[in-house]
Amino acid sequence: MSDQDYPFDGFNTRAVRAGQHRTNEQEQSEPLFLSSSFTFTSAAQAARRFAGDEEGNIYSRFSNPTVRTFQERLAAMEGGDACIATASGMSAILSTCMSLLKSGDHVVCARQVFGTTVSLFGKFLPRFGVETSFVPLTDYDAWERAITGRTRILFLETPSNPLTEVADIRRLAELAHAHDCLLVVDNCFCTPALQRPLEYGADLVIHSATKYLDGQGRCVGGAVIGPADLVDEEIFGFLRAAGPTMSAFNAWVFIKGLETLSLRMRAQSENAAALAHWLREQPGVDHVYYPGLNDHPQHELAASQQTAFGGIVSFEVTGGREGAWRVIDNVRLMSITANLGDTKTTITHPATTTHGRMTEQERAEAGIHENLIRISVGLEDVADLQRDLEPALAASRGR
């Protein structure tokens, strides 16, 4: 069908409609296909499907209609040609690396990324001959200096986890392309509702669907979005062979999550902004990290690159690790958990959890101090979040 015949292409329309292919049952909501394999009408048809001469389902490790709906919907939302769904956000990064890199290749990665991403690049990929140089996220000269003739991928998160530092995607895309590299952006904190890195020149977008795409803390999953030649050819080939696949059930949950993504991201951004401003005024709070604050070092860049500032607020308290733990131990409403993007507000001590397996030096270089607390702001009333934090902050100060 041509665009003229079907001109319904707004972002919110895609979020609720893209990828839906009704069956003969004429269902209103997307069906969940819990079937590990699919049948063929003949041996010849099976052979055609396996040879790739005929489109159609084969086996849910690499082809499932519910997973396909999620992939088509997320690709449409990110503005990419293709999407591959994976078992987790980490397996999305792993699948990208295993399919696009070979022994002898080199990656440049921001220092300010999720701790497990540091482990993958710094500890596991070197076993397969792929080395990574880590650079400060916003030091563009350092990115350039780190690129060698063997560099294939530049990898970053923006905003970064947990300090919400923001990098200029356009600038890094130009740098990557000038050196024949790919720019891979983990868009977990913003989601396509707030930022679409492919529009700024990124080659691939990574997601942990576990976070905002689900949005209600139910399922683990991931995705890679980008051009068909990379995603459908290279990365799909690895996924089919190695099998770090998203389950149909999880895909179905994520499909429903995508339908409310825009609303949640806006509401959570508003709540986070209100909490960040309030936190700045509280005794015992040393520093608040939130891109929506005027004094955030990349506030203007975030305003130009994102349509809202996101739901993550991090802050430092007086009293070191003990002070931070006391705040966390004294909240009653927020959930103490190592996850983010949930409608329920979560509170985390990054230095000992999400970034706990980085070395002390790696954490210091990334600016993650022992007194840092990360809050993923949910959809509760901000007044209740303040009511929860106020006595926790007081307890931390010994009052």
Concatenated DSSP letters of 382-398: HHHHHHHHHHHHHHHTT
Binding residue (CB under 6 A) for ligand L2LWJD63 from 96, 112, 132, 161: 161
Strands 131-135 and 151-157: unpaired
Q: Which residue, 227 or 367, is less far from ligand L2LWJD63 as judged by CB? A: 367
Residue 86 near ligand L2LWJD63 by CB under 6 A:
no
In the list 20, 57, 116, 335, the residue contacting ligand L2LWJD63 (rule: CB under 6 A) is 116
Residue 305 touching ligand L2LWJD63 (CB under 6 A): no
Interface with ligand L2LWJD63 includes 260 (CB under 6 A)?
Answer: no
- Work out which of 114, 121, 134, 325 binds ligand L2LWJD63, going by CB under 6 A: 114
- According to DSSP, the residues that pair with 373 across neighbouring strands are 315
| Residues of span 323-382 touching ligand L2LWJD63 by CB under 6 A | 338-340, 353-354
Q: What Cα–Cα distance (Å) separates residue 383 from each residue in 50, 168, 386?
A: 57, 34, 5
Q: Which is nearer to ligand L2LWJD63, 69 or 191 (CB)?
A: 191
Distance CA 236, CA 194 (A): 27
The candidate with the shortest Cα–Cα distance to 256, out of 70, 21, 14, is 70
Handedness of CA 143, 144, 147, 152 (dihedral sign): positive
What SS3 class is residue 176?
Answer: helix
Count of chain residues binding ligand L2LWJD63 (CB under 6 A): 9
Q: Where are the beta strands (DSSP E) in 240-326?
A: 285-289, 312-317
Q: Taking the complex as a whole, how short is the minimal distance between the CB of residue 39 and ligand L2LWJD63, in angstroms?
A: 38
Q: What is the distance between the alpha carbons of residues 260 and 258, in angstroms, rounded to a whole number?
A: 5
Within 184-243, the residues that bind ligand L2LWJD63 by CB under 6 A are 208
| Stretch 40-59 residues interacting with ligand L2LWJD63 (CB under 6 A) | none
Cα angle: 212, vertex 218, 224; to 5 degrees = 50
Min dist CB 91 to ligand L2LWJD63, Å, is 12
- Strand-pairing partners, residue 360, are none
- CB of residue 222 to ligand L2LWJD63, shortest distance in Å: 11
Enumerate binding residues for ligand L2LWJD63 (CB under 6 A).
114, 116, 161, 208, 338-340, 353-354
